[in-house]
Amino acid sequence: MANARSAAKKHADEDIFEAAFSRVHSAAKRIGIHDEVLQALHYPRETLAANLLLRHDDGSLSSHKAWRCRYNDALGPTKGGIRFHAGSNMREVMALSLWMTMKCAVVDIPFGGAKGAVCVDRKALSDTELQRLAHAYVQAFRRMIGPERDIPAPDVNTDARVMAWMADEYGRCQGHPAPGVVTGKPVAIGGSEGRDGATGMGAHLVLRELAQRLDLSPGNTRVAILGFGKAGGALAGLLQEAGYRIVGLADSGGAITAKDGLNVAAVREDKRRHGSVADHAGKGIRKHASAETLVGCDCDLLVPAALQDQLNADNAGKVKARVVLEVANGPTTPAADAILAKAGVQVIPDILANAGGVTVSYFEWLQNRSGDRWTAAKVQSRLEEVMSQSARRVGDTALELDSPLREAAYAVALRRLEAAVLAVSPLCPEQVDVVGSD
């Protein structure tokens, strides 16, 4: 996805954080959120930067910038992933933590938003170097994170194994085990059943709830997915099982399309064996050097599932889909939003569509706190309940406001955040209910 990455960098230069906040501001003004609450939401509660020294296998040292941002904790301890990516920077981390704040609020789980990152080329690291980097991150931010304060999770280029290393190092620093300090861990050390693939499953549940409103039916819907990693890959399989026709898939190695549909399981196996979806071949399958080709794919549902800014002012006009399902964080720039709206394309926003991961992380955190272990069936049932109810609430709010789904999702989140802020704040004493006195 080289072209997509360069485009993302170009549009990120326009300030990804201010672009992210512009959506908060627009929705807040639309529904009359108190100005001082909105002002408080414009600034992260806490941002910390560090330089991590990494000892390589050959004995050399390298230094890597790292960040952790706790954006807002009005609803509870902050929650958000840690990514290892060469393009990361502080403004990106701030934007991602703002989105996490909105995401937790829209699905009504008791977390605030946070995010972390290390500026590093993950593919250049050996497994032992990766472990040292995970330990170094915990050592640098150990006073910021904690089971009751800030709970990291996997993100881009981090996984359950990295979370296991981080939990182990945090426990060593504290002098006692603390499995609840991170989520997304292996089940063997306190992880939750159902966490793998939870983001894709959550997106599927949201789509299922909103499909009728969007005039989509599985048997008549062609799908193209930009990104075939943890979330995009899981979603592709779920959609195919539900009867959707997957006509396009892409990853960093290129893209493939097929009018009659792709066999997701076969594509997954070829990617596992050879490294990319572009290594899959067969009758009627066309290969494309650039993943961005899929933006203009002849489909009904387009799913950006990689990094932010995949849909931007330069390519949004090429979109042929009627609906965009945002599985990545921030995949559509505000400029692209305007272009899509003018073309009549409906967007299921990221803060709703990809909230399945943090929801199951919440379930994992609950299990770590109580010492309970949930079955996969219980996790699935609870996830369906949360995602379906949240999608219905956003859909109903869109009708109430006569607004796009994105603005409706932000409205739902902001109303919950405002109530939490005002409940403990002297900003607006006239809005505090007096329940009685002794």
Active site residues: 115
Q: How far is CA 174 from CA 71, 178, 234, in A?
A: 24, 8, 36
75 contacts 113 by C-beta, under 8 angstroms:
no
Separation between Cα atoms, residue 130 and residue 369, nearest integer Å: 28
Separation between Cα atoms, residue 378 and residue 376, nearest integer Å: 5
Separation between Cα atoms, residue 327 and residue 301, nearest integer Å: 12
Which residue type occupies 282?
G
Candidates 241, 67, 73; CA nearest to 155 is 67
357 contacts 153 by C-beta, under 8 angstroms:
yes
With residue 151 as reference, give the H or E element that holds it.
Answer: strand 150-154
Tokens for 238, please give them.
């779920």
CB burial class (10 A; 0-12, 13-18, 19+) of residue 8? buried
68 contacts 102 by C-beta, under 8 angstroms:
no
Which residue matches tokens 């904690």? 146
Separation between Cα atoms, residue 295 and residue 8, nearest integer Å: 14
CB burial class (10 A; 0-12, 13-18, 19+) of residue 288? middle
Question: In sequence order, what are the residues at sequence separation of 6 or more whose Cβ sits closer than 8 angstroms to the Cβ of residue 267?
Answer: 228, 236, 249, 256, 277, 280
Separation between Cα atoms, residue 361 and residue 163, nearest integer Å: 12
CA pseudo-torsion sign 385, 83, 337, 105: positive
Separation between Cα atoms, residue 22 and residue 46, nearest integer Å: 20
Tokens for 7, please give them.
């485009």
Separation between Cα atoms, residue 368 and residue 228, nearest integer Å: 30
